[in-house]
Amino acid sequence: MQTHEIRERFIAHFVNAGHQEVPSASLILDDPNLLFVNAGMVPFKPYFLGQQTPPFPNGTATSIQKCVRTLDIEEVGITTRHNTFFQMAGNFSFGQYFKEGAITHAWGLLTGSLEEGGFGLDPDRLWVTVYLDDDEAAEIWEKKIGLPADRIQRLGMADNYWSMGIPGPCGPCSEIYYDRGPEYGKEGGPIADDNRYMEIWNLVFMQNERGAGIGKDNFEILGPLPKKNIDTGLGVERVACILQNVDNVYETDLLRPVIDEAEKLTGSTYGAKHEDDIRFRVIADHSRTAMMLILDGVVPGNEGRGYILRRLLRRIIRSARLLGATGATMEQFITTIMDTMTPSYPEIAGSRERILQVAVNEEKAFLRTLESGTKLFEQVAAEAKNEGKGVVGGDKAFTLHDTYGFPIDLTLEMAAEAGLNVDREGFESLMAEQVARAKADSRAKKHGHTDLSLYREWVDNNPTRFVGFDTLSNEAKVLGLVSNGTKLNEATEGTPVEVILDETALYAEAGGQLGDRGVIRTGDGLIRINDVQKIGKKLWIHKGVVENGHIEIGNAVTAEVDPAWRHAARQAHSGTHLIHAALREVLGPTAVQAGSMNKPGYLRFDFNYAEALTPEQMEQIQAITNQAVDADYQVNTIETSLEEAKAMGAMALFGENYGDIVRVVEIGGPFSMELCGGSHVAHSSQIGPVAVLGESSVASGVRRIEAFSGLDSFNYLAKERALAAGLASSLKTPTEELPDRIAQLTEKLKAAEKEIANLNRQQLAAKTGQLVEQARDAGKFSLLATTLPEGTQAGDLRTVATDLKNRMADKAAVIVLAAPAGNKVPFIVAATASAVDAGVKSGDLVKLMGTYIDGRGGGKPDMAQGSGANAAGLDAAFAAVAEELAQR
């Protein structure tokens, strides 16, 4: 049975039982605790936490949620059941059925015949575990289902008690296992061997509330929840492994084709060697995870989600290389996994080119990293041999791995080829410290979850009605007041307050557009609103200060938008859509939005693109944008279903979760069509001129364009024109000839600076002989420590130091030169061959000097450079070097 059919059967089973089907959320959710969605219940968390009431008619739901877990990424491929990306099929009950319902639903699907829509598993091969004292669940399994008592095992809190890892809902769980047979391990059920007995489904009986604590079993049970809920998770990949009768999850229909492709590209054979099998599995697993992350808008970077993606892609490249690949492989791997996953995720088809571009560009960059890392390794290896250690230090291996992205496997392989060992213990110790820091940070973030239960009453019963698309003011009723996390009945002058109204014309921040500014007027009061935010996508929170009078619950008020703010905000938001359309016209369909922010008169637009834009491309983008403004396109908004909007060609944002009904903003027909809930102008000409300020990099593979719109754009252009006119007047050059004139002056300036630098070098060279005479004895060494004239460059320091070292080559001499310029102190230490033989290390002396002049640096034993920030400490630094040498 193919995986996509397993998915279809699961959903059909629960829809037929009255559950509402809920599409998978994006892997990226706005949750401070999570990098990625890591469990099927995550999108339902507000309902389990009591922040919102479930919107499902029968109080039940079902979904197949895409998930990513990367905490134990190094274990991928070693165990044959672990994937970083997996599909969690689940059914959820919010105060409806409980243990018996969850158990009977699961048993019916697992053991039901194929003809009736079930999975057709043999009941005699199913085992279950329950929590230690959960007699109720054990009795249901035995009395209701008929499972023999000896196939029902009890485990403790660490195994059979579920929580989110933070204070909140929790409860015992019952896990269902499939016996794969004696060839996979010993008898005795899951307690005896969890490799033979594969867990396929976890039924969580969410009935209690837990307190604070760390770990799976180190927390207090505070008491029962008001309602008993059900949260289950079936591992789609594990069921596929069983139904397709393959050895492990890497050999199912979704991943095995990638392994086959890897065999072709590397020349190695899957199943021949254990070490190679791990690498094949890494390639298959990470290719799928990387593809799904890119699909949802993640791009490679140096932190957060981007770092995880980069690490996955680099592990693919590393594994392919170790299997024998000599060239690029990413395109073939990603193309293969897109082919296998598209039947379950049709949206992949429209993003193939973008996904490939992101993955292939990262491969090209990493192959260059491997090249530079190889050169660095050669230096490290040479130092190890010169020092006679025969070992590459753990710190060096860690630096290669962590700073330069050079995999430890390659370090080990190349060290062996060079006849060297690697201090693996030291490397692992540093890696462990890094992991501990990451886990501590993760735990700290978990406790940062914001408690929104204060607003639940209004979210559930009084969602705000937004009327601001059609009007800038409205009559409303005050439903709630909050100040500093406390509910109020009234607020008086000077009080910071959050006002909740039954309806409002003020726009709440969303989609990159900042919330409106405005006022709320009562009979005798005025509240100045400086921000509007949403809670639960339903409730508008008007944040402000009572300027005059007072406001109280039940007041009839008038909410008014600042018209100038809204007008300029509309201009910027509509301008953002035009910039996006122009970008795609110039750069192609792979330049898609990665974020935006717009406020009155200003917009910034982030997009996925691997290279800096050329001046010509920037000119094109600005020209196309302003041509659209001049065309006076009508701006239309259409409310329709998500499927219909996609059929129309409307663009959706990656990582966003849309409802059943969406709003499409169309500017100029096919020119721009996006899903957007923001406010916009009625005609494109109302945007006014758009002045593009420039573009820059904000992360690897992510660029940013910034621009002014409307009157702010006009003012910016007017200042630019005045500046150009002033330059033209000063240089007595027509404005249109300014670029050439400035280029000529720049070249003259560079030539003059170069001539001055040459003269300085000549003067320094002439003084070199005189400097030698300043050398003084420091124990058995000859020490020359002096400053050079201000303006001496770092490169000149090296030239002079090299010349002095050659002139003093017949002595055990140490040369220390500094060239202070203000508080900055570039400096260098050089040692002749005799001094180095006597134990002098220039790098150590540089570090010693750094303690006196607030500096740092490094280098080789014969020459090292540094820079300090405290010129006043130079005399003490010179004296310290002299004392250090005298003691040798």
Whole-number Å distance between alpha carbons of 194 and 15? 32
Q: Return the axis-axis angle of helices 256-266 and 304-323, rounded to nearest 10°.
A: 50
Give yes or no for a contact between 533 and 508, defined as CB atoms under 8 angstroms apart: yes
- Would you put residue 607 in left (φ > 0), alpha (ψ -120 to 50) or beta? beta
Distance of CA 479 to CAs 266, 331, 522, Å?
Answer: 67, 56, 13
The two most distant CA atoms of the chain are separated, in Å, by: 102
Which value, in Å, is the radius of gyration of the alpha carbons in the chain?
34
DSSP codes of every residue in 439-491: HHHHHHHHTT----GGGHHHHHH-PPEE-TTT-SEEEEEEEEEEETTEEESEE
Sign of the four-CA dihedral 686, 692, 695, 701: positive
Sign of the four-CA dihedral 551, 552, 557, 560: positive
DSSP codes of every residue in 677-724: -S---SBGGGG--EEEEEEEEEETTEEEEEEEEHHHHHHHHHHHHHHH
Q: How many beta carbons lie within 10 A of that of residue 279, not counting itself?
A: 25
| Residue 676 annotated as lining a ligand binding site | yes
Residue 321: exposure state from Cβ atoms within 10 A (0-12, 13-18, ≥19):
buried
Q: At 720, phi and psi to the nearest 5?
A: -60, -40
By DSSP bridging, strand 781-787 and strand 813-818 are parallel
Q: How many beta carbons lie within 10 A of that of residue 635, not counting itself?
A: 19
Closest CA to 596 of 612, 585, 588, 607: 607
| Residue 13 annotated as lining a ligand binding site | no
Whole-number Å distance between alpha carbons of 154 and 151? 10
| Residue 683 annotated as lining a ligand binding site | no
Whole-number Å distance between alpha carbons of 853 and 858? 15
Give yes or no for a contact between 274 and 675, defined as CB atoms under 8 angstroms apart: no
**634 SS3 class:** strand
Closest CA to 341 of 282, 311, 280, 296: 296
- Residue recorded with tokens 């996994």: 337
- Residue recorded with tokens 């016996």: 179
Sign of the four-CA dihedral 141, 147, 148, 153: negative
Dihedral of CA atoms 378, 380, 382, 384 in degrees, nearest 10, equals: -150
DSSP codes of every residue in 302-368: SSHHHHHHHHHHHHHHHHHHHHT--S--HHHHHHHHHHHHTTT-GGGGGGHHHHHHHHHHHHHHHHH
Residue set of the binding site for Zn(2+)? 573, 577, 676, 680
Residue set of the binding site? 573, 577, 676, 680
